[in-house]
Amino acid sequence: MRAPWLFAGLAGISCLAACTVGPDFTVPKTPAGAGFTAEKLAPETTAADMPAGGAQRFVQDLDIPGQWWALFRSPSLNALISESLQANPDLAAAQAALREANENVYAEQGSLFPTISGSASATREKISGASFGSFGGGGFSNSLSQPFNVISASLSVSYAPDVFGGVRRQVESAQAQAEYERFQLEATYLTLTSNLVNSAVRLAALRDEIAATDAIIQAESNQLEVAKARFSLGGVSKSDVLTQQASLAQTLATLPPLQKQLAQARNQMMTYLGRYPNGDRGESFELRSLHLPEDLPVSLPSKLVEQRPDVREAEAQLHEASANIGIAIANQLPQFSITGQLGSTSGSFDKLFSPGTGIWSIGGSIAQTIFDAGTLEHRKRAAVAAYDVSAAQYRSTVLLAFQDVANALRAIDADANALKADALAERSAIDSLDLARAQYKTGAIDLLTVLTAEQTYQSAVLARVSAQAARYSDTVALFQALGGGWWNRSDFAPESEGSPDRITLPPVGEIRLPGALR
């Protein structure tokens, strides 16, 4: 009759598993007064009458669409991004890492429940009567020497009650790691899509720069023909012809570097798409084919820490470090365990569960480290120090997030002003060049004046193209700095076994329990 009381006493230990040692994690609050600019942000940028020259309006707390790149209104770009989301290996690796972390959460949760194992055995044995002090012949000795069977079947149960919450902290730590991997996936997704849009802008800008350089080469070639014609008539010296040839050669020399950059940019895009360099299918972009979004979101500072994937990663690491402190404390406290066995042993299968064949055992143990030369204490202190490291890294990540947004806002405003100025400079340069060429034909000015006007125009054209590209790139940088709208995305399916799609993680602190225990 003592067994039930013993079982009840040991089971009561598990009822004590209500406390959880260590700190309970709370998300750090954004400091009051945190902002992006020291002075009030202008409501909109300046405008220029040319492609990518429209004014952009800053809209406070405007939500970001999950497919923010669609705002550039480029079907070709949308198609490439869809392809990259299916084929990019970095994204596939991040998805697999999340699935791994999610399964580790469920594995850790299994430690909260008893482990039950079953076993069965069948043995045929023969022993000597001498083992029992019986020598020589006789009925008793002969019976002992006869072969016999031993058939047994049993269930074993082992359970370590989580009295001080160490296992629950391990589950919490695993959940935080899975949360980190989730936002690592979001960061990879955002980086990939941002890089693809920037690659398209870069390709378009290089094409425009090459086209502008080709036009300048053609104009200088025509100018060289004029110089040769005037030389043949005695209107200019041979040095004028040679000077024009040198200028043309210098302009021609700027073309191969641009072509190299174009080829390298295409190779980079192929990598983003999961293709090899020879997988180029002729996709091309032009700056005039890309739409510049007019309304730009400016998230509230309090929302930025919720939206930035890298901030959420740092938050998850801080959470994991907090849980590890609880694990280290729990390891310093007594460890409990309960074991039990229930089974039957018989000489034949047909009598295995007959009355009188049953066996059982139940027991409990408690263990406490008495001396370890301070090992567990120092591990706890190390866990606290690791938390301090994560806390400092979290603050640093938040500061960098605000810096990125502030830089993007400033760049968008400055580049709008730069494009307006570059457009004016280009118009002035082409007017000056046209005038210089006309005067040169009549002999009113020398060739050096024409060459200076050509160089000024070439620089103005390239500066204008660069300013146009910068407006697109800085718009991308703002969407990226604000988190990219991952919270509005629906392109990843819910959890499914073996699927490469994103797995939806249970909320931190939620434990999967069998229905009977919920």
Check residue 388 and give its pLDDT.
96
Q: Please give the pLDDT value at position 469.
A: 95
pLDDT: is 283 or 75 the higher one?
Answer: 75
**Residue 141 belongs to a domain:** no
Task: Answer whether residue 323 shows pLDDT above 90.
Answer: yes
CB of 436 within 8 A of CB of 450? yes
H or E element that contains 261 = helix 255-272
pLDDT-wise least confident of 91-95, 336-340, 443-447, 454-458: 443-447
- pLDDT at residue 506 above 70? no
Contact (Cβ atoms closer than 8 angstroms) between residue 100 and residue 144: no
Contacts of 413 by beta carbon, 8 Å cutoff, 6+ apart:
42, 45
Look at residue 282 in the predicted model and tell me its pLDDT. 85
DSSP 346: E
**Has residue 435 got a pLDDT over 60?**
yes
Structure tokens of 430? Answer: 């082409």
pLDDT of residue 448: 81
For range 97-101, the mean pLDDT: 96
Of 143-152, 246-255, 318-327, least confident by mean pLDDT is: 143-152
Query: Is residue 27 assigned to a domain?
Result: no
How many distinct structural domains can be found in the chain? Answer: 1
Band the pLDDT of 198: cuts 50, 70, 90. very high
CA neighbor of 54 nearest in space, from 290, 256, 318: 290
Stretch 482-509: mean pLDDT, rounded?
56
For residue 504, pLDDT over 60 is answered with: no
CATH number at residue 461: 1.20.1600.10
Lowest mean pLDDT among 133-147, 158-172, 190-204, 498-512: 498-512
- Encode pLDDT of 239-278 as tens digits: 888 888 898 999 899 999 999 999 999 999 999 999 999 9
Look at residue 507 in the predicted model and tell me its pLDDT: 37
Higher-pLDDT residue of 352, 76: 76
Q: Is the pLDDT of residue 283 over 50?
A: yes
In angstroms, how far is the first alpha carbon of the chain from the final one?
A: 32
* Residue 128 burial (C-beta neighbours within 10 Å; 0-12, 13-18, 19+): exposed
- Structure token digits, residue 30: 């954004």
Identify the band that residue 487 occupies on the pLDDT scale cut at 50, 70 and 90: very high
Residue 345 falls within a domain, yes or no? no
Residue 220: strand, helix, or coil: helix
Rounded CA separation 80/269 (Å): 9
pLDDT one-digit tens code per residue, 289-316: 899 999 999 999 989 999 999 999 999 9
User: Is 429 a member of any domain?
Assistant: yes
Inside any domain, residue 17: no
Q: Mean pLDDT, to the nearest integer, of 161-174?
A: 94
Quote the CA–CA distance of 484 and 309 in Å, as a whole number.
Answer: 9
Q: Please indicate, yes or no, if residue 88 is contained in any of the structural domains.
A: yes
Strands (E), 323-441: 335-346, 358-367
Asked if residue 186 is part of any domain, the answer here is yes
- 199 falls within a domain: yes
113-127, 142-156, 339-353, 428-442: segment of lowest average pLDDT: 142-156
Structure tokens at 190: 């955002």
| pLDDT bracket for residue 142 (50, 70, 90) | low
- What is the pTM assigned to this prediction? 0.84
Burial degree of 414 (CB within 10 A; 0-12, 13-18, 19+): middle
pLDDT at 223 over 90: no
* 19-52 pLDDT, tens digit each: 889 999 998 888 778 888 888 888 999 999 888 8
- Nearest Cα to Cα of residue 54 among 288, 210, 382, 404: 288
Q: Which domain holds residue 91?
A: 44-114+164-331+391-508
pLDDT band at 345 (very low <50, low <70, confident <90, very high): confident
Q: Tell me, what's the pLDDT at 5?
A: 46
Decide if 183 contacts 316 (C-beta within 8 A): yes
Instruction: Flag whether pLDDT at 54 surpasses 50.
Output: yes
